[in-house]
Structure 1
Amino acid sequence: MPSIHAASQAPNQFVDVAGRRLAYRVLGEGVPMVLCLRFRGVMDDWDPAFLDGLAEQGFRVHLFDYSGLGHSSGQPTYDPASLARDTLDLIGALELDKVVLCGWSIGGVAAQLVHLQAPQLLSHLVLIGTTPPGQLVKTAEPLFYELAARENDFEDFVHLFFEPASDASRDAAARSAARIAERTDGRCTPVPHAWAAAFLGEGPRNPAFPLDIALDALKRTTIPILHIGGDHDIIFPVENWYALNRSLPTLTLLTYPSAGHGPQLQHPEASARHIAAFVKG
């Protein structure tokens, strides 16, 4: 493993679109890929080993900050429709086409809305630790709402994104946290936890993504879809995807054992290789 990953040194870039400035970074060459962030995430919260792995697999990776968060200007919100609009505006401003769209957590909800609105822009849809639309067979754990609403330490990081009962997962969390901390210049402003907490609600909801038309689009699509999950995701349990497996014609499921809400943090290189094999296949 290199001491400093290339992703940790990717320069901040900016594009003006629809009255705000979106911040983004690019690394790699090849198939265009756009990454949509998790709740309370900024560009620095992607694991550099995962990003480098994607670049090494032949993707030109675009990551960005949502409006008003990180380095981007504009009105901040966690309304998924606005996050999808940010994604579509970035794709349009950078003149990308037939992208591999990858969304993590609430970014996966945004990615599904992009799929609903503009499927012609996508070649593949990759979802990480997110929820499908519609009624759920298993809801979130209340612990997520407690942890996501406060300032987080390393133990919170473990419980949010890994499997705290597994020593191997805890070790992976320490390595991932060290990689995420590598960047020293141009780091993004963290998302204020008190502001973000206002979007959480009081606890688990069912459905978490109440838009039947989005589920109908997944049932009719010809676009290949991959979901990467952990077997113990405290906010978006992977069981909800397995419940839909027979009704979603293009869905492939990959679930890591003893892993949580950030499977690509625990298995960065392997996740990149799986995504590449999925796209090439």
Structure 2
Amino acid sequence: MTTLVQSAGAAEPTQFVILQDRKLAFRSIGEGVPILLCVRFRGTMDSWDPAFLDSLAANGFRVIVFDYSGLGQSTGESSYDPRSLARDAIGLLDALGIEKAVIGGWSIGGIAAQIVLATAPARVRHLALIATVPPGPLARPGEQLFFELAKRDNDFEDVVTIFFEPASPASREAAKRSEARFAARSGDRSPDVPVDWAAAQLGDRPRNPVFPAEAVLHALKATNIPVSHIGGDHDIALPVENWHALSGKLPTLHLLTLPSTGHAPHHQYPELCAAFLGFLAQAHGIGCVGMPAAAAKAAS
């Protein structure tokens, strides 16, 4: 039995679903084809750039963001085991009565999204990955610098180094604009993920492979579901070159690599990234960009 509780707050109010032993916090923005977004390491619902979410909604999506179990405003046992994160995603779809959705994932959320595809392919319309890593041996592991920065409270320079391109003035300006959009939010915010807890989950150095999931790689090679990856050309956490190495090996893979950016290409180019996902949805008959709300809702 699922109970839905809504609380007052920000423009997109936080809502809750109760799943047996835990309560998941989520927000829903817009109407159209559902896109469920699994967030990054140390991320909450408030870690998605509002311009990216708004642009997805403008491209005909119903955008759903959520906090993983035990993190942010959600209750239950906290874990960064990607299988647990994938269970949260599927549980939320069940609770909301959504049979199929675009499943998106950023960073560790992208690993969770791939597990959703491998374990529940009938629930996935399109796998929309952002700055994440494929299963199996990597062409290029992440940089040690990421592990140092990811384990401390981050100032603006850290944000630029991880998520943007510090050598590019244009990327720095994009970082300032993104940070201003985050600062404009008020109220109904999810608590930050505790740094010490997250650091203990990360490890001390880059791994290769990050997740040796043969079943997930097989699913990517065998699927007829569209798979896309949006990456920055200088991602110190999960280099985009690992997806380039799979070009021609995954039959439905679409790659978009953006210049002079890092681990958050959708924050530097929010409208472009949302339009890319809208274009793929239209091209694959998933939904139409700018479709009337009633028709979009019926398509879901």
Using structure 1 for the length normalisation, give the TM-score. 0.97
Partner residue of 1:192?
194
Q: State the shift of 1:60 in Å.
A: 0.5
Match of 1:165 among 164, 167, 170: 167
CA distance in 1, matches of 2:163, 2:277: 19
Partner residue of 1:22?
24
Task: Check if 1:88 corresponds to 2:97.
Answer: no
**Counterpart residue identity of residue 10, structure 1:** E
- Render the CA deviation track for 1:47-96: whole Å, top value 9, x for unaligned: 00000000011100110000010100001110111000100100111011
Partner residue of 2:290?
none
- SS of the equivalent of 1:68 reads coil
Match of 1:235 among 234, 237, 246: 237
Task: Check if 1:224 corresponds to 2:226.
Answer: yes
CA distance in 2, matches of 1:234, 1:16: 37
**Counterpart residue identity of residue 190, structure 1:** D
Match of 1:139 among 138, 141, 152: 141
Aligned length: 275
Partner residue of 2:39?
37
Q: State the shift of 1:97 in Å.
A: 2.0
CA distance in 2, matches of 1:167, 1:13: 39
- SS of the equivalent of 1:61 reads strand
* Within-5 A mapping of 1:67-216: 67-216=69-218
CA distance in 2, matches of 1:23, 1:112: 22
CA distance in 1, matches of 2:20, 2:232: 37
Q: State the shift of 1:98 in Å.
A: 2.0
Q: State the shift of 1:182 in Å.
A: 1.6
- SS of the equivalent of 2:248 reads helix
Are the aligned partners of 1:137 and 1:240 in contact in 2 as well (CA < 8 Å)?
yes
- SS of the equivalent of 2:201 reads coil
- SS of the equivalent of 1:134 reads coil
CA distance in 2, matches of 1:109, 1:69: 18
**Counterpart residue identity of residue 158, structure 1:** V
Partner residue of 1:55?
57
**Counterpart residue identity of residue 57, structure 1:** N
**Counterpart residue identity of residue 277, structure 1:** F
Partner residue of 2:278?
276
Are the aligned partners of 1:225 and 1:250 in contact in 2 as well (CA < 8 Å)?
yes
Are the aligned partners of 1:9 and 1:183 in contact in 2 as well (CA < 8 Å)?
no
CA distance in 1, matches of 2:246, 2:26: 34
**Counterpart residue identity of residue 100, structure 2:** K
CA distance in 1, matches of 2:194, 2:278: 34
Identity %: 58
Partner residue of 2:247?
245
CA distance in 2, matches of 1:67, 1:10: 20
CA distance in 1, matches of 2:157, 2:11: 27
**Counterpart residue identity of residue 157, structure 2:** E
**Counterpart residue identity of residue 175, structure 2:** A
Partner residue of 2:294?
none
CA distance in 2, matches of 1:49, 1:249: 31
Partner residue of 1:5?
none
Task: Check if 1:255 corresponds to 2:231.
Answer: no
Q: State the shift of 1:251 in Å.
A: 0.1
Are the aligned partners of 1:67 and 1:86 in contact in 2 as well (CA < 8 Å)?
yes
**Counterpart residue identity of residue 42, structure 2:** R
Structure 1 vs Structure 2 CA RMSD: 1.0
Structure 2 residues not aligned, in runs of 5+: 1-9, 284-300
Structure 1 segments of 4+ aligned residues over 6 angstroms from their partners: none
Partner residue of 2:297?
none
CA distance in 2, matches of 1:182, 1:78: 29
CA distance in 2, matches of 1:18, 1:109: 24
**Counterpart residue identity of residue 273, structure 1:** A
Which shifted more, 177-186 or 156-165? 177-186
- SS of the equivalent of 2:63 reads strand
CA distance in 1, matches of 2:57, 2:20: 29
